[in-house]
Amino acid sequence: MLPTAARATMTNVRRFASLSSTWEYMEVPTRRFVFAAISLLALAMAAGCNRTPTAPDNSPTWLRALIAQLEAEPPANPPALIARYDYKRQTVYFLPQRCCDQMSVLYRADGAVMCHPDGGITGAGDGRCPDFFAQRQDEHIIWRDARTTAAH
């Protein structure tokens, strides 16, 4: 009797052989269709990679200005991003802190600062919305900085 590993290898070889013979017995138009479908899927997946969400043209003016300001600054590590959430039945925009003791910022839909959910010396933000992370819903990344920081 063969060892377990050898039996598993033989089973895999048989499976591959059956798939190979299935391909060989397919009609040429069917093979072309399968090949074209796989190629289109691979192309679609590749096209979606490394795509940076950008603020839609219908974004509020203040949000587009904030993104322009962030893009004018040197790239942060980790990269800056802006996410939209539903929080307490309101649309809000969240800009996470990017370093050290800085505070994150939660904006109302009109661009006014609602609170600073986290960050600062204590890490707890300003205390005006302590339940933000537990209560936020329906995340949409509006913008993510695709630039990389220079190596030191």
Nearest to 100 by CA among 119, 86, 76: 119
What is the predicted pLDDT for the residue at 82? 96
pLDDT, tens digit (0-9, with 9 covering 90-100), for 79-93: 999 999 999 999 999
Beta carbons within 8 Å of 138's beta carbon, 6+ residues apart? 85, 86
More confident residue, 133 or 58: 133
More confident residue, 57 or 148: 148
CA 66 to chain centre: 20
Residues constituting the chain: 152
pLDDT in tens, 115-145: 999 998 888 999 999 999 999 999 999 999 9
Q: So what's the pLDDT on residue 78?
A: 86
pTM of the model: 0.62
Q: Give me the residue spans of the domains in the chain.
A: 4-48, 61-144
The long-range contacts involving 26-35, CB below 8 angstroms and separated by at least 24 positions, are none
Alpha-carbon distance 30 to 15, whole Å? 21
Q: Is the pLDDT of residue 10 over 90?
A: no
